[in-house]
Structure 1
Amino acid sequence: MEVVDVCAGRVRTQNLAELSPLLISLITEGISLNTNGSVYHPEEGSEDSEPEVFGTATECAILNFGVKLGMNFDEGKSKSTIFRVSPFNSRRKRRGVAVQLHDSQVRVHWKGAAKTILASCQGYMDMDNIASMDQEKISHFENTIDDMCNEGLRCAALAYRTYPEGDINRNEAFTNIPDSNLVLLAIIGIKDSCRPGIGDAIQQCCNAGIRVCMVTGDDLLTAKAIAMECGILTATSDINTTILASEFSSMSDAEREEIAENILVMGRSSPDENLLLLKELRKKGHVVAATGKGIRDAPSLRQADISLAMGIGGTSIVKECSDIIVLDDSFASILTVIQWGRSLYTNIQRFVQFRLTVSASALIICVVVAVHSHEIPLNVAQLLWVNLLIDTFGALALASEPPIDNLMRRPPVRKGAPFITKLMWAKFVLQVAYQVTALLLLNFHGESILKLENKSLDHAYKVKNTLVFNSFVFCQVFNEFECRTHDQTNIFSGILKNHLFLGTIIITVILQVIVIECLGIFISTVRLDWKQWLISIGIGFFSQVAGRFPFQAFPYLRN
């Protein structure tokens, strides 16, 4: 943040040299005394001669403004004694101090929201003199504030009043600092620039079906200008998408419920009003994520479905009550959270679909053959091998799939939506039907299909069973490709980017070849010739064709 515009003495300027020495003295006095921040002045002769400021972003901007005016922070503190402080809060939107000067005078300094301070002023500093505040001048200052706000500046005002010492009773309540009949010193415009890439990030959120809502304590005009700059609002946005928090809270429950979904920008909002909007959105069934960094954001973060705290600027209380901490305080990082969250959800769906297919196919094949022929087409050792090979490497392959760009172009999953979608059920049924049909056909008619009538019964039986087992494994290998891209047209899309998936598939195939060709004695299999290997691979390949069918034939299942 940085102070980029100043209105003092009815003159709006960016050239600080135009301000009078007396006005500068009063402004720097107010800045140095009425602050929670601090300024560190390096020792003379040190390499870094620039003062360092500490405090909140707004405090730092104002302190830097004071430094530019020639403020000596420590000297200003030493020339007076602060005996009363009225701390800033989100409702009053101002902070005040009462200080005793060395000449026994008592001076009150206030700073805060520009229009709030302006309403308490009866005069203004016209360079070296105090001028009275009439309606024309009030309108002039209000228009100046509106102009600054329309330029996306956060407006603050500085004001003061001097009293003889006897007019202030130090024994009164701690916050009872006079706040009327003040003299306006300056209205300052603070620029809070949007971070690079924020517009693209918000556009990606919109593409992903996520509505970004700005709820801020800033003036509504400032909030609208910033929202336009970063893409939350557009030139065609409806007027009902922006609202003052006071208007929203004064509505009836029915009115709030009706308008809550349309709100994109809410200005002059307090923690209670933040929470009110959040509850209305949740009442409508929306999944609401809230971000925050200050203690005033804690109630909303606790009530949100997903709470995100800022890692750099966030307070410890906010971090404790948040689900996720954004380490770099960047909105773009929230997109990464969303993308990886969707990717994890999709990967779990992939593995569940894959595992259901493997289990259902094996179960149906074994039960049907056992009932019909009193035989077991897949023996215990083979089933153990399938579980070891397919479960371990299949889970690793599907769970390692990185996020794809397409994820951020899908609508979010609705609350209460079934985990297994219509498309997953359709693919599961057709995949199981294909595998069961193909492998049962091979089991019951394998000798004639493979032309093994001239072979011994024992050898023909072993070749047939080996081919059933091998084909079953290759069905699952190609099913992994299908499950990996269960909602995409091209099963090889982005496959070269996932080296782990490729590696697990290659290892699976190599181990299967070794088991069939070299270790058959352990799982009751025999070697296959190249034609039989091609048959196994062909049966497996056509399993993914069965999985593609519902995706291509019934587009409505994709949603």
Structure 2
Amino acid sequence: MTEAATGTRRSCAATHARDVADVMAELASSPQGLTSEEAKRRLLQHGPNALPTGTRRHPFLRFLAQFNNALIYFMLVGALAAAMLGHLVDSGVILAVVLVNAIVGFLQEGKAENALAAIRDLIAPKAHVLRDGQRISVPMAELVPGDIVLIEAGDRVPADLRLLRARSLRIDEAILTGESVASTKRAEPSADAAALGDQHGMAFSGTLVATGQGTGVVVATGLGTEIGRISELLGSVEELTTPLLRQINRFGRRFTWFAFVGAAALFAFAVGLRDFAWDDALIAVVALAVSLVPEGLPAVITITLAIGVQRMAARNAVIRRLPAVETLGAVSVICSDKTGTLTRNEMTARRVVTSEETLLVQGAGYDPAEHRLFADGGSEGHATTLSLIRAGLLCNDARLHRDDTAWHVEGDPMEGALVTLAMKAAFDSGETRAEWPRLDEIPFDAAHRFMATLHHMPMAEKVVLVKGAPEAILAMCDRQEARGGSAPLDAGYWSERIAEAAGEGERVLGFAMRPMPGDAQGVDFADVERGLVFLGIIGFIDPPRDEAIRAIAKCRSAGIAVRMITGDHAATAQTIARQLGLGEDAAVLTGQDLDRLPLDGFAAAVRETVVFARTSPEHKLRIVEALQAEGRVVAMTGDGVNDAPSLKRADVGIAMGIKGTEAAKEASEMVLMDDNFASIVAAVHEGRTVHDNIRKVVGWTLPTNGGEALTVIMAIFFNFAMPMSPVQILWVNLILAGTLGLALAFEPSEPGVMRRQPRRPDAGLLTPFILWRIIVVSLFFAGISLGVFFWALGHGRDLETARTMVVNMLVVLEIFYLFSVRYLHMTSFTYTGAKGTTPVLIALAVVILGQLAFTYLPVMNAIFGSSPLTLADGTLILAIGAASFVLLEVEKHFLRDRFRAE
């Protein structure tokens, strides 16, 4: 623990029992927050507001861990035995194979860990603070003692705070206290001896805001916080083991034991029945085991997944948990929120309705400059409309700011649109808010569906302004604003206007007001529950993203169903669904409709419905469960704390990176950095590519290993000269380790990857087509290798030359087979397929140079017993390799349709 952090904790040990003014004075802070310069100074003094990350293994220990498996032990024992028997070359090559595999595994594992660590930095959460009197967002790590922090429902508390203000604030402190019930907070001091769970004036770092809003001053950061005491529990490194890797590791262990038993039996057969010298048989069996067992497969699959993570991050889809990479490839249903994901999340006030007039507003987004509300340039005769727009500006927490390129909103998008609307109506937002200062408020909460603020009006009067769901606001009103004063409420008129706006795909807010006594000091629910004067409604439109429309069309061709789940009015949701291309008359069910469905009819209704409107967290959870019960793989998007249950239940939970709460992000496997539906489809595209590449790695590794092993096994069984010496078997394994197989991990997507139906979630890696290939290609390679061997001997070549031809033949076969495996779902007879990718060409260059050295370099001839080949020999080998490629492509063409259902 740093000295600064310790000092912060010690000085604030009894903060919860002290008056707010004393705490602020000690921290030299003010209600307007720190200045930027002071914040920088304190950051240098106290250090970043961050907990230590989980300790990563030292690189040397991670390197040693690569040797910790049964196969490596077996190989090391074999190397020792070979050395003791005087087979120093064999021993050296075995050790070289072990070392190369360890280096490849070490580099791959390090790259995977680094990729995930970099991804973790991409989703570093932010906090809302006051700096220089302005509300801004800063990374949590930059918070310092004395900062004034604003928190609201769904946020994770960024540091230990002494609360200055709390409105309906309840915080889930289970990670600190174990209490499942959220703690109610208020600004008053608590008893000096109060337990942690009873310190109602404190908000602790890492806890979740369940409801309400609050403002607090930072009293401790980093290791100085309460959660700093248990940072070991929170700093764990992202786990790299996935169900897929566990399956591969389990397969590898079983296959290894099978190879050991088979090798022992083969050793006994060679020595007992074929009169092999036991030391020669032992070396041959060790070399055979090395060639047969795919010891590097888990490492190659790990790097394939890590590459997928990086590719997805480049497309704004950040993977928080590695298993999501493999799951994404099987997604068959995407349940998406509407606002900001399918739409632009640039709300625009499009319709202003009062009891006297309806105005349609021009322009989109938050830029107020190009469009004015009143065409005649003046506001005379629009007093009621101006009252409505002013209420929208004042009952509002958003701020607009402009950078070099565009206007941006700090706060809720709809509130930002209200500020823009006020500026279009010639209001100066800063001056108006200064003339009508806010005295108190009731924050918006889903439970009551409105926000209320108390303001000091010019001329010493006070007024409560209320904004919220129009149905809720109308229920609290008995009169409406009209020219010259108020009039009785015409509920029918407003219902028609609300339906009209919603029918045009607009979200609607209602506004009301109530004069308050001059001595009123605050506002509570009793002040707004009845007797309000209705000012009017404002309709907002959030246009669909163009890229979302294209992405939905791509989902349709990929066999992925899209369901829109929103809290909007049913008519609004249906209009947006139509604009997005989800259907001209997309079926819509509301939360109330779902509640009325019988239990046995719920699943059928969910299956047939495209749009779900006015849904609760329970509804979203039931929808996800109903889809999963039918065997669908469900991706679910969300941004709020109320989305966390369904995000956690979904096969892939997807949180919004911009407007998403920390609760939503923590419950999710993936975070969208641009809150864009198109990024989800891009991630599914990458997920399918990753799964394809893993299948290619498996489909290339096992048949090529099998071909090498069968060549040797047949020689021992039929008692003819070994087509490859043990040291040559080891050379093949050495030259291919970390080259050709690893190159497949970098393969780009095959054409048409998003025109295939989703794979079945229960489909294993060893599909019927790959199992067929393992058998056929193993026999094919063994047959060709033995044919070349006997052809060479039959034409008078010595044993060394024949063996050299076999080694080169196997390597050439594996090179051509690599080009065939690069495309599982289409022919490789294309220019793109022939030219390869950069990783493939690099791997190919390494293998070719190695084989040239093996064949023609005298020192390699001496070590491996190889012999230079003639041009004719090389040409023959290449011709056979090319012919094998053609045959395998023909076989793939005829069998691809048969196995397409896999």
The TM-score, its normalising length taken from structure 1, stands at 0.87
**Which residue of 1 is the match for residue 837 of structure 2?**
498
Q: How does 1:435-446 map to 2 (within 5 A)?
A: 435-444=781-790, 446=792
Out of 139, 146, 150, the residue aligned to residue 499 of structure 2 is 146
Q: How does 1:344-423 map to 2 (within 5 A)?
A: 344-373=690-719, 375-423=721-769
How much has 1:370 moved relative to structure 2?
Answer: 1.4
How much has 1:352 moved relative to structure 2?
Answer: 0.8
- 8 Å CA contact 1:551–1:557 kept in 2: the answer is no
Counterpart-to-counterpart distance in 1, 2:725 and 2:751:
43
- 8 Å CA contact 1:8–1:127 kept in 2: the answer is no
Choose between structure 1 and 2 for higher RCO, CA contacts under 8 A separated by at least 6 residues.
2
Counterpart-to-counterpart distance in 2, 1:112 and 1:265:
23
Q: How does 1:104-119 map to 2 (within 5 A)?
A: 107-119=463-475
**Which residue of 2 is the match for residue 541 of structure 1?**
882
Distance 1:39 1:476, change over 3 A: closer
- 8 Å CA contact 1:426–1:550 kept in 2: the answer is no
Counterpart-to-counterpart distance in 1, 2:496 and 2:421:
23
**Which residue of 2 is the match for residue 455 of structure 1?**
none
Q: How does 1:506-545 map to 2 (within 5 A)?
A: 506-518=845-857, 519-545=860-886
Counterpart-to-counterpart distance in 2, 1:497 and 1:72:
61
**Which residue of 1 is the match for residue 551 of structure 2?**
201
Counterpart-to-counterpart distance in 1, 2:359 and 2:874:
83
Name the amino acid aligned to 2:392: I
How much has 1:351 moved relative to structure 2?
Answer: 0.8
Name the amino acid aligned to 2:485: N
- 8 Å CA contact 1:308–1:326 kept in 2: the answer is yes
How much has 1:366 moved relative to structure 2?
Answer: 0.7
Out of 256, 262, 266, the residue aligned to residue 612 of structure 2 is 266
Q: How does 1:243-322 map to 2 (within 5 A)?
A: 243-322=589-668
Q: How does 1:440-459 map to 2 (within 5 A)?
A: 440-444=786-790, 446-448=792-794, 451-452=795-796, 459=797
- 8 Å CA contact 2:704–2:777 kept in 1: the answer is no
After the TM superposition, which of the residue ranges 357-366 and 531-540 deviates more from structure 2? 531-540
Distance 1:344 1:508, change over 3 A: same
How much has 1:367 moved relative to structure 2?
Answer: 0.9
Name the amino acid aligned to 2:503: N
How much has 1:104 moved relative to structure 2?
Answer: 7.2
Secondary structure of the corresponding residue to residue 197 of structure 1: helix
Secondary structure of the corresponding residue to residue 738 of structure 2: helix
Counterpart-to-counterpart distance in 2, 1:365 and 1:465:
12
- 8 Å CA contact 2:480–2:535 kept in 1: the answer is yes
Out of 767, 790, 798, the residue aligned to residue 460 of structure 1 is 798
Out of 565, 570, 576, the residue aligned to residue 226 of structure 1 is 576
How much has 1:3 moved relative to structure 2?
Answer: 0.6
1:60-86 Cα deviation digits (max 9, x unpaired): 111222233344445555556756533
Out of 814, 818, 821, the residue aligned to residue 476 of structure 1 is 814
How much has 1:192 moved relative to structure 2?
Answer: 0.8
- 8 Å CA contact 1:121–1:180 kept in 2: the answer is yes
- 8 Å CA contact 2:732–2:807 kept in 1: the answer is no
After the TM superposition, which of the residue ranges 139-148 and 15-24 deviates more from structure 2? 15-24
- 8 Å CA contact 1:485–1:491 kept in 2: the answer is no
Please say if 1:325 is aligned against 2:695. no
Counterpart-to-counterpart distance in 2, 1:416 and 1:165:
69
Q: How does 1:117-196 map to 2 (within 5 A)?
A: 117-134=473-490, 138-162=491-515, 174-196=524-546
- 8 Å CA contact 1:27–1:186 kept in 2: the answer is yes
Secondary structure of the corresponding residue to residue 539 of structure 2: strand
1:134-154 Cα deviation digits (max 9, x unpaired): 4xxx34332322222232221
**Which residue of 2 is the match for residue 456 of structure 1?**
none
Name the amino acid aligned to 1:30: A
Counterpart-to-counterpart distance in 2, 1:204 and 1:405:
13
How much has 1:128 moved relative to structure 2?
Answer: 3.5
Counterpart-to-counterpart distance in 1, 2:420 and 2:462:
26
Please say if 1:62 is aligned against 2:418. yes
- 8 Å CA contact 1:104–1:164 kept in 2: the answer is no
After the TM superposition, which of the residue ranges 101-110 and 279-288 deviates more from structure 2? 101-110
Secondary structure of the corresponding residue to residue 308 of structure 1: strand
Distance 1:488 1:52, change over 3 A: closer
1:259-282 Cα deviation digits (max 9, x unpaired): 222332111122232222222222
The TM-score, its normalising length taken from structure 2, stands at 0.55
Percent identity over paired residues: 25
How much has 1:476 moved relative to structure 2?
Answer: 0.6
Q: Which runs of 5+ in 1 are unaligned?
A: 453-458
After the TM superposition, which of the residue ranges 298-307 and 13-22 deviates more from structure 2? 13-22
Distance 1:39 1:391, change over 3 A: closer
1:86-116 Cα deviation digits (max 9, x unpaired): 3323354322334565767653322222333
- 8 Å CA contact 1:99–1:107 kept in 2: the answer is yes
Distance 1:510 1:65, change over 3 A: same
Distance 1:556 1:493, change over 3 A: farther
**Which residue of 1 is the match for residue 392 of structure 2?**
31
Out of 446, 450, 453, the residue aligned to residue 90 of structure 1 is 446
Counterpart-to-counterpart distance in 1, 2:877 and 2:610:
57
Please say if 1:13 is aligned against 2:374. no
Please say if 1:426 is aligned against 2:426. no
- 8 Å CA contact 1:38–1:54 kept in 2: the answer is yes
1:239-288 Cα deviation digits (max 9, x unpaired): 5x321122113323322222222332111122232222222222322221
Counterpart-to-counterpart distance in 2, 1:201 and 1:81:
46
How much has 1:357 moved relative to structure 2?
Answer: 0.6
**Number of residue pairs matched?**
535
Distance 1:25 1:152, change over 3 A: closer
Counterpart-to-counterpart distance in 2, 1:72 and 1:290:
41
Counterpart-to-counterpart distance in 2, 1:153 and 1:23:
22
Counterpart-to-counterpart distance in 2, 1:503 and 1:51:
47
Counterpart-to-counterpart distance in 2, 1:51 and 1:282:
42
- 8 Å CA contact 1:370–1:376 kept in 2: the answer is yes
Counterpart-to-counterpart distance in 2, 1:76 and 1:362:
82
Counterpart-to-counterpart distance in 1, 2:352 and 2:750:
48
Distance 1:51 1:336, change over 3 A: closer
Secondary structure of the corresponding residue to residue 417 of structure 1: coil
How much has 1:157 moved relative to structure 2?
Answer: 1.5
After the TM superposition, which of the residue ranges 89-98 and 401-410 deviates more from structure 2? 89-98
- 8 Å CA contact 1:20–1:128 kept in 2: the answer is no
- 8 Å CA contact 1:281–1:288 kept in 2: the answer is yes
After the TM superposition, which of the residue ranges 336-345 and 142-151 deviates more from structure 2? 142-151
How much has 1:445 moved relative to structure 2?
Answer: 5.1
Name the amino acid aligned to 2:892: F
Counterpart-to-counterpart distance in 2, 1:497 and 1:322:
36
Counterpart-to-counterpart distance in 2, 1:83 and 1:386:
80
- 8 Å CA contact 1:551–1:558 kept in 2: the answer is no
Name the amino acid aligned to 1:498: T
How much has 1:350 moved relative to structure 2?
Answer: 0.5
